[in-house]
């Protein structure tokens, strides 16, 4: 799928660069390369040099030249060999040299000096990490561009929302598929494979608009619901929730949900837990309006869970941004400042967990509008029985 250049997004980045006095950004995280060039790489060897003025430069594998010509928003594409007969170094070393050459004529350069996490490349299995040389290849006029990119990425453009909408559609349809086929006694891993298989199989080519869809999941059932353990071989329980912690990546844009299915009729203790959790969830969503405090969002969720009789829960964050990563700024934390702004997309995810296993979490993605929030997925929250 080829998308037109998102000038609203790129103009905002350049305005922020002007405020920070940066002449160019040099990025290598797959999500930042995608964000600035629309190119989603295969192996994580890619880099982009994005100047405040002029044409960006994309560095990528020569094997990806056709993909770059079709999808990238820049015509300055510089290719590296995946294997060079005369050069035993890994491709990253050659990528550094081309990025260095492209950045040479710029003054102050912004690098991802405090990057905590990054999204995956299209291959995923062996994430690429850059070496010491990368961070020492661009002279002494270097600044940390990570906060600038976080500010830019926190507010979504119309195109970004359209792309995230596709990821949400795929996630919803995958849950409908599992709702139809989930059976008691099935292993948690089989339920996860069923969901992942639908995302990759049906999501790739989705309505002629998605080139590649990848699914990531954790699935637990009944007493297997905890934070956090790997999906295992425990059985899907009748009359108890099976929790799907799920991400979809559609051509580099993500959604992040937690959905719950119950084969049969939900047991009374779980129905009460659902009632308590949904009360907290709905109160949190009412809070999510432009100008509202992110710290207060975290605090009110945790206080609500405390009032329900579960002090100190949950052990995981309860609200964060979503976009070119499944987890990205802003993060809601009671000890951090910041406000909710129109145009943000937040994942809100309160959870309550029983000692010894069992519990619930609910989560969806919400666009912050002038009037409140708009849910991006059509799959119900709470527990869906059947």
pLDDT at 216 exceeding the cut of 90: yes
pLDDT at 206: 98
CB-based burial, 158-180: b 16+ in 10 Å, e otherwise: ebbbebbbbbbbbbbbbbebbbe
Distance (Å, whole) CA 206 – CA 375: 21
pLDDT at 204: 98
Q: What is the mean pLDDT of residues 93-115?
A: 97
Instruction: Please write the tens of the pLDDT for every residue from 332-371.
Output: 999 999 999 999 999 999 999 999 999 999 999 999 999 9
Per the prediction, the chain carries an average pLDDT of 97
pLDDT at 1 exceeding the cut of 80: no
Instruction: Please write the tens of the pLDDT for every residue from 170-207.
Output: 999 999 999 999 999 999 999 999 999 999 999 999 99
Distance (Å, whole) CA 346 – CA 325: 12
pLDDT at 169 exceeding the cut of 80: yes
Phi-psi region of 343 (alpha: psi -120 to 50; beta: other; left: phi over 0): left
Query: Do 206 and 213 form a contact (C-beta atoms < 8 A)?
Result: yes
Distance (Å, whole) CA 358 – CA 205: 37
Distance (Å, whole) CA 330 – CA 323: 11
pLDDT at 49: 98
Distance (Å, whole) CA 297 – CA 303: 10
pLDDT at 20 exceeding the cut of 80: yes
pLDDT at 386: 87
pLDDT at 99: 98
Q: What is the mean pLDDT of residues 208-233?
A: 96
Q: What is the mean pLDDT of residues 289-293?
A: 98
pLDDT at 236: 98
What is the share, in percent, of the chain residues with pLDDT greater than 70?
Answer: 100
What's the angle, vertex CA 138, arms to CA 136 and CA 253, rounded to 5?
95
CB-based burial, 257-270: b 16+ in 10 Å, e otherwise: bbbbbbbeebbeeb
Distance (Å, whole) CA 246 – CA 258: 6
Q: What is the mean pLDDT of residues 211-229?
A: 95
What is the share, in percent, of the chain residues with pLDDT greater than 90?
Answer: 98
Residue written as token pair 């829960």: 313
Query: Do 37 and 71 form a contact (C-beta atoms < 8 A)?
Result: no
pLDDT at 227: 86
In angstroms, how far is the first alpha carbon of the chain from the final one?
36
| Confidence bin at 298 (pLDDT 50/70/90) | very high
For CA atoms 13, 19, 24, 29, give the dihedral sign.
Answer: negative
pLDDT at 30 exceeding the cut of 90: yes
pLDDT at 273: 98
Give the 3-state secondary structure of the chain: CCCCCCHHHHHHHHHHHHHHCCCEEEECCHHHHHHHHCCCCCCCCCEEEEECCCCCEEEEEHHHHHHHHHHCCCCEEEEECCCECCECCCHHHHHHHHHHHHHCCCCCEEECCCCCCCCCCCCCCCCCCCCHHHHHCCCCCEEECHHHHHHHHHCCCHHHHHHHHHHHHHHHHHHHHHHHHCCCCCEHHHHHHHHHHHHHHHHCCHHHCCCCEEEEEEEEEHHHCCCCCCCCCCECCCCCCEEEEEEEEECCEEEEEEEEEECCCCCHHHHHHHHHHHHHHHHHHHHCCCCCEHHHHHHHHHHHHHHCCCCCCCCCCCEEECCCCCCEEEECCCCCCCECCCCCEEEECCEEECCCCCEEECEEEEEEECCEEEECCCCCCCEEEC
Pairing of strands 359-361, 319-321: unpaired
Instruction: Please write the tens of the pLDDT for every residue from 117-155.
Output: 999 999 989 999 999 999 999 999 999 999 999 999 999
Distance (Å, whole) CA 369 – CA 289: 7
| Confidence bin at 82 (pLDDT 50/70/90) | very high
């Amino acid at each position: 799928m080829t998308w037109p250049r998102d000038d609203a997004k790129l103009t905002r980045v350049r305005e922020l660069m002007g405020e920070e006095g940066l002449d160019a950004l040099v990025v290598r995280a797959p999500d930042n390369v995608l964000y600035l060039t629309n190119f989603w790489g295969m192996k994580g060897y890619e880099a982009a040099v994005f100047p405040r003025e002029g044409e960006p430069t994309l560095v990528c594998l020569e094997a990806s030249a056709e993909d770059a010509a079709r999808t990238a928003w820049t015509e300055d594409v510089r290719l590296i060999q995946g294997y060079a007969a005369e050069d035993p170094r890994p491709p990253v070393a050659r990528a550094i040299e081309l990025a260095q050459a492209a950045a040479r004529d710029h003054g102050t350069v912004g690098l991802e000096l405090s990057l905590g996490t990054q999204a995956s490349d299209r291959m995923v299995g062996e994430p690429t990490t850059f070496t010491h040389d990368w961070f020492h290849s661009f002279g002494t006029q270097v600044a940390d561009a990570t906060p600038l990119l976080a500010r830019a990425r926190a507010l979504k453009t119309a195109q970004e929302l359209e792309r995230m909408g596709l990821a949400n559609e795929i996630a919803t349809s995958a849950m409908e598929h599992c709702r139809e086929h989930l059976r008691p006694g099935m292993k948690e891993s089989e339920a996860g494979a069923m969901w992942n298989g639908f995302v990759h199989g049906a999501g790739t080519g989705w309505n002629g608009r998605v080139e590649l869809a990848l699914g990531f999941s954790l699935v637990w059932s009944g007493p297997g619901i905890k934070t956090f353990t790997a999906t295992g071989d425990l059985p899907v329980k009748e009359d108890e929730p099976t929790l799907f912690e799920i991400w979809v990546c559609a051509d580099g844009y993500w959604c992040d949900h937690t959905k719950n299915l119950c084969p049969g009729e939900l047991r009374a203790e779980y129905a009460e837990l659902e009632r308590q959790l949904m009360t907290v969830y709905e109160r949190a969503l009412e809070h999510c309006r432009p100008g509202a405090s992110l710290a207060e969002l975290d605090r009110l969720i945790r206080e609500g869970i405390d009032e329900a009789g579960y002090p100190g829960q949950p052990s995981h964050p309860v609200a964060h941004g979503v976009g070119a990563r499944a987890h990205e700024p802003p993060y809601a934390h009671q000890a951090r400042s910041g406000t909710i702004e129109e145009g943000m997309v937040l994942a809100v995810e309160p959870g309550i967990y029983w000692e010894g296993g069992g519990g619930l979490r609910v989560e969806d993605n919400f666009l912050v509008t002038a009037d409140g929030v708009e849910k991006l997925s059509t799959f119900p929250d709470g527990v869906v029985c059947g």
